Amino acid sequence: MFSLKELKRDFYCWKYNIAKPGSTAYYKQLCRNQMLCPEEIEDLSLNKTRKLLKYAYDHVPFYKKRFLSIGAVPEDFQTARDFEKFPILTRADLMENFNELLSDEYTMKDVRISTTGGSSGTPAKVCHPRSLPRAAMGWRLLDWWNISPADDMADVYRDVRNSLKSKIFQWVQAFPGRQLLLNATSFSENDMKVFLDNFCRMKPALLHGYVGAVDTLSGYMLEHEIKVPAPKAIWLTSSPITQVQQKRIEKAFNAPVYDQYGCCEIYWLAAECPKRTGLHMFQDIRRIEFTDDSGFSVPTGEYGQIVITDLENYAFPLIRYANGDSGRRLKKDCSCGCNLPLMDKVKGRVSETFLLPSGTRINGEFLTTLFDDTPDAVKQFQVHQQTDGSIVLKVIPNIKFQDLEQTLENVKNNLLNAINHEVPIAVEKVDSIPQKGGKLKFIISDYKK
């Protein structure tokens, strides 16, 4: 006998398959891939890499030139070690060679353009083929969290439904599931109340949204002791999350926040399963490497720059693309049954570091941990380096916290020690910290040496 949940799921996939043929078959293939043994997954990834290199050589002017410039042909890259010699693709390459990176078998009508935002420094543009059943990659991830794509979901996101047509489209897209939306761009106390009331009625399986906005909502719930039925998972996007925020959000919703890693240039890179032993890398569809500055792999467990090859994008191949993040592969297995290899949580973007007058860099990851020991002292904070190099630490204090002044003094001193007292630090207590489109930036640097 089929359960209602299974029926809804089957209907959802059937409906999706009409809009994008091949989605269900692709999803099933992905589910099989993750059960392969680690060696088979590596073989699959290498085979796809060789196939993509050959295609790029034959059909993409940029890569044809790249092969010529190093005096090589695709057949020279057979093993993982060979592949490490292939030149790294940088953000500057994307900017300068946009037209040449498009395959001669695709036109601009066949692709969707994705632009990366300003938070990571240099903007860049890439194309994704419309024909790829991308949603199926997300269905596999939802499976890990025991969620069906046909389940009800709550989103704290930019409201992009600006016409009746797009509202109907969104409804049809979610059906038979329902979508509950809180517009993250701006919301009032009443908007939060209405959203939370509906949340209680709908009992969504997933809460998905911008870190800053979900955090604000969580702070409101805790302050007013509002309880809602726990979703199965919370999935946050757009900014790095601090321990303080994660704890607050998990407490408010009584549900786990799972880490998911991706970037605008290449979606779906890695994600946590409920065991939370690390992030499973989607190595069957992306080849993720951790390398030194010369592009050679660093040993497992050591940090390196993240270099990604999108094994599915033939329209605009991204081969050995360094997205500016650093991370490391983990030397352990997960007991959840999925054999995709594990990586650690990603360290901040390289550009999210503070440069000090001496040339020393302070890692953004460290800056997000300033209040980890005293998570209840502040509701939110932001570290802003001014044009002269000095630092302003903005905090929205929790006035109920007893040792607030002492805590702020301690945090300031810790930060001063970390930066070796190179520049002055001012602590500013504020009522709010401006967000952009629901996204909170923790770390801003306007200092140019």
Binding stretches for Zn ion (CB under 5 A): 273, 275, 334, 336, 338
Q: Helices marked H in 353-403 — which ranges? A: 364-367
Q: Which two tokens stand for residue 416?
A: 């001063």
| DSSP string for 71-119 | T--GGG--SHHHHTTSPPB-HHHHHH-TGGGS-TT--GGGEEEEE--GG
Of 223 and 333, which has the nearer Cβ to Zn ion? 333
- Minimal distance, residue 339 CB to Zn ion, in Å: 9
Rg (CA), the chain: 23
d(CA 415, CA 409): 10
- Minimal distance, residue 30 CB to Zn ion, in Å: 15
Of 273 and 367, which has the nearer Cβ to Zn ion? 273
- Minimal distance, residue 137 CB to Zn ion, in Å: 17
In terms of Cα–Cα distance, which of 317, 248, 257, 329 is closest to 290?
Answer: 329
Of 42 and 159, which has the nearer Cβ to Zn ion? 42
- Minimal distance, residue 281 CB to Zn ion, in Å: 11
Neighbouring residues of 431: CB distance < 8 A, sequence distance ≥ 6? 396
CA 132 to chain CA mean position, Å:
20
In terms of Cα–Cα distance, which of 351, 374, 379 is closest to 364?
Answer: 351
Of 31 and 336, which has the nearer Cβ to Zn ion? 336
- Say which residue the tokens 């040792």 belong to: 403
- Minimal distance, residue 309 CB to Zn ion, in Å: 23
Question: ω into residue 397 within 30 of 0, thus cis?
Answer: no
d(CA 49, CA 323): 18
Of 273 and 411, which has the nearer Cβ to Zn ion? 273
Of 154 and 334, which has the nearer Cβ to Zn ion? 334
Of 334 and 350, which has the nearer Cβ to Zn ion? 334
- Minimal distance, residue 134 CB to Zn ion, in Å: 22
- Minimal distance, residue 351 CB to Zn ion, in Å: 31
- What are the Cα distances from residue 333, in Å, to 7, 49, 159, 298, 329? 34, 24, 39, 19, 11
